Amino acid sequence: MRYFLALVIMLSTITVFSQSGKIYGYIYEEGISKAIPFCNVVLLNSNDSILMGTISNEKGLFEFDGIKYGKYYLSIQSLTHEIFKTKEFTLSVDFPKKEFKTISLKTTVIKTDEITISVERAAVKIEPAKKTFDVETTGADVGGTAVDVLNNLPSVDVDDGGNVSLRGNSNIRVLIDGKPAGLTPEDITAVITQLPANAIETIEIITVPSVKYDPEGIGGIINIKLKKEKQKGYRGTASLSYSTIDKINSQISLSLNKKKWNINASYNYTDGTYWYRRVNNGIFLESDSLTAFDNHAEIDKRSANQNGNLNIGYKINKQTTLSLEGSLRNTYSHRIDSLEFYWDYNGLYDKSNTRNTNYDEFRRNAIGQFNLSYKNKKGHSIKLLSRINGIINPRESNFIEPYILQKEYKNFLAQTFVNQIDIELPIVKAKNDSSEVKFLTLETGLKSAARKFTEDYTLYNFNPASVAYEIQDEFTNSLNYDEEIYAAYGLFKAGNKSNKISTGIRAEHSNITSETKSNNYNKRLINFFPSASFVHNLSETTTLAFNYSKRIKRPRGKELNPIPTYSDPFTLRIGNADLVPEKSHMSEISYLKISNKIVFNSTLFHQYRKDRLGRLSYTDSSAVSTILWINFNYHQTLGLELFTNYKINKKIKLNCSGTFYNTWVDGENFRDGFTAVYLGYDLKMNLQIKPRKATTFILTSDYNSQRLAVVGVVIPRYGTDISLKQKIAKGKGVLSLRLTDIFFTRRFGIDVDTDGWFREVRYRYESQLLWFGFNYSFGQSSLDGKKKFKRVSPNDRSF
- Provide the pLDDT for residue 158: 80
Instruction: Yes or no: say if 490 and 504 are a contact pair by the CB < 8 Å rule.
Output: yes
Model pLDDT for residues 128-163, shown as the tens digit of each residue? 678 888 887 666 666 667 887 887 787 888 876 677
Name the class of domain 20-108: mainly beta
Rounded-to-integer distance, Cα 573 and Cα 562, Å = 9
- Residue 21: CB partners within 8 Å, gap ≥ 6? 67, 68, 69, 91, 92, 95, 96, 97, 98
- Between the alpha carbon of residue 349 and those of residues 290, 293, 343, 758, the distances in Å are 11, 12, 8, 20
- 624: three-class secondary structure by DSSP: coil
DSSP at 93: S
pLDDT digits (tens, 9 = 90+) for 338-353: 989 888 877 776 778 8
Whole-number average pLDDT of the chain: 83
Rg of the chain (C-alpha set): 30
- What are the phi and psi torsion angles at 328 (to 5°)? -140, 125
pLDDT-derived band at 5, boundaries 50, 70, 90 = very low
Q: Which of 105, 117, 100 minimizes the C-alpha distance to 23?
A: 100
Predicted local confidence at residue 112, as pLDDT: 37
Q: Is the confidence at residue 183, as pLDDT, over 80?
A: no
Rounded CA separation 211/553 (Å): 15
Least confident of 167-171, 209-213, 540-544, 616-620: 616-620
CA angle 126, 127, 133 (to 5 degrees): 40
* pTM for the predicted model, two decimal places: 0.77
Contacts of 466 (CB under 8 A, 6+ apart): none
Given a cut of 90, whether residue 660 has pLDDT beyond it is yes
- Predicted pLDDT of residue 567: 60
Segment 33-87, tens digit of pLDDT: 778 877 888 888 877 777 787 888 878 889 888 888 888 999 888 766 778 889 8
Chain segment 364-416, per-residue pLDDT in tens = 999 999 999 999 988 899 999 999 999 999 999 999 998 889 999 999 999 99
Q: Which residues are CB-contacts of 532 (< 8 A; sequence separation ≥ 6)?
A: 501, 502, 503, 504, 546, 547, 548, 549
Name the range with the highest mean pLDDT among 184-198, 323-337, 431-445, 469-483: 323-337
Query: Is the alpha carbon torsion for 297, 298, 302, 303 positive or negative?
Result: positive
Q: Which residues pair with 315 in a beta bridge?
A: 321
Task: Looking at the structure, give the CATH architecture of the domain made up of residues 233-796.
Answer: Beta Barrel (2.40)
- Choice among 351-365, 584-598, 779-793 with the minimum mean pLDDT: 779-793
The predicted model gives 95-121 an average pLDDT of 62
Whether the Cβ atoms of residue 625 and residue 615 lie closer than 8 Å to each other: no
Euclidean distance between CA atoms 653 and 656, whole angstroms: 10
pLDDT of 9 reads: 36
Where in the chain are the domains? 20-108, 233-796
3-state secondary structure 382-412: EEEEEEEEEEEEEEEEEEEECCEEEEEEEEE
